[in-house]
Amino acid sequence: MKTTRKAIWGIVLLLMAFLAACGTTAEETSSSQEEGQSEAEAPKKLRVVTDAAYAPMEFQDKGEVVGFDIDFIKAVAEEAGYELEVEHVGWDPIFVEIESKRADIAISSITITEERKQSYAFSVPYFQSTNKILVPEGSDIQNAENLKGKKVAVQNGTTGQMAMDALIGKNDPNIKKFEDNNLAIMEMESGGADAVVADNMIVEEYAKNNPDKKLKVIEDSAFDSEFYGLLFPQDSELVEEFNKAINAVLDNGTYSEIYQEWFGIEPNIKVLKEQQ
Ligand code: ARG
């Protein structure tokens, strides 16, 4: 009887020791698996460059880069599983940074054009835009045609400049080019130019936020409808992933939310989708 009891206790103890050992091993395995997984899934940080002098699309607020474009790309990157570092570099440097691959993506109200497509890759369109004319309220300029013979300030290397080159003539001294759109607006305000030509959201927002400056915005069907895209190095592998993520953000309501926050109106998502 005694021996049987001893034997049973022996077996029980052995079993407990065995189970305990199993427990530790199982725990150890799962925790090391988790570590391995989180290492593999640690989001890669992408370097995003912009010209943060184009409110409300991208601008600086207390040293921080903010704007519709910034909220948009953050939402898209989150969807694609990437972390971002957004840096203001200026307009011309954007193209240098992307061409040299020092930056992964540029977002800066960049219009998708055939010419740019020769040297860079673009995402699907994420925003519709057109150039408009900003003038002092009392100006006699009423349409694009009236800009002939006037001094027009534009940001260098933008579609605004291209539209003026086509209308007034390339290298015409009446086209005053600035490296930053805010400088173009300042030139008009100080009397050095009669008008500014830039993207509608920018001139409309500026006129609205500065009622004391008494400005008016003129639209003209002579200006093309344009679409903004994210800009990548020509052979970037990110394009496909970001296109997918842009479509997800367009479809799941996030895009509308951000658009309404900045502009107070519903976006036309259908027109963007039709361009794909
Ligand atoms: N959409 C125009 C273009 O692509 C102007 C963009 C200017 N953007 C800026 N952040 N300054 O040429």
The reported pTM is: 0.86
Residue matched to tokens 């740019």: 116
- Residues with Cβ within 6 A of ligand 1? 51, 53-54, 58, 91, 108-111, 155, 158-159, 181, 199
Number of the ligand 1 atom closest to the C-alpha atom of 111 = 4
CATH code given to domain 130-225: 3.40.190.10
Take atom 5 of ligand 1 and give the residue whose Cα is closest: 158
> What ranges do the domains of the chain cover?
45-126+229-274, 130-225
Element (H, E) at 95: helix 91-99
Residues 6+ apart with CB under 8 A from 8: none
Neighbour-count burial of 61, counting CB atoms closer than 10 A to its CB (0-12 exposed, 13-18 middle, 19+ buried): exposed
Please report the atom of ligand 1 found closest to the CA of residue 50.
10
Cα 157 to ligand 1 centroid, rounded to whole Å? 8
Rounded to the nearest angstrom, the distance between the alpha carbon of 232 and the centre of ligand 1 is: 15
How far is 156 from 174, CA to CA, in rounded Å?
13
- Closest ligand 1 atom to residue 228 Cα is 1
Give pLDDT, residue 229: 99
CA of 227 to the centre of ligand 1 (A): 11
CB atoms under 10 Å from CB of 55, counted, come to: 19
pLDDT given for residue 210 in this prediction = 98
Expressed in angstroms and rounded, the spacing between residue 74 Cα and the centre of ligand 1 is 19
Q: For residue 177, how far is its CA from the centre of ligand 1 (angstroms)? A: 13
- Quick one: which of 212, 215, 202 has its CA closest to 263? 202
The architecture in CATH of the region 45-126+229-274 reads 3-Layer(aba) Sandwich (3.40)
Return the best residue to mutate from 111, 115, 162, 196 for the ligand 1 pocket (most ligand atoms within 8 A of CB): 111
Residue 44 has a pLDDT of 83
Consecutive 10-residue averages of pLDDT for the chain (276 residues): 53 48 44 47 87 98 98 98 97 98 98 98 98 98 98 98 98 98 98 98 98 98 98 98 98 98 98 98
Distance 254 CA to ligand 1 centre (A): 24
Secondary element (H or E) of residue 196? strand 195-199
- Taking the centre of ligand 1 as the mean of its atom positions, its distance from the CA of residue 63, in whole angstroms, is 21
CA 92 to ligand 1 centroid distance, Å:
10
Tell which atom from ligand 1 comes closest to the C-alpha of 58.
Answer: 10
Closest atom of ligand 1 to 180 CA is 11
Handedness of CA 58, 60, 65, 67 (dihedral sign): negative
Residue 125: closest CA among 112, 108, 107: 112
Q: How far is the CA of 1 from the centre of ligand 1 (A)?
A: 94
User: Number of H helices and number of E strands within the chain?
Assistant: 10, 14
* Most informative mutation of 70, 199, 228 for ligand 1 (most atoms within 8 A of CB): 199
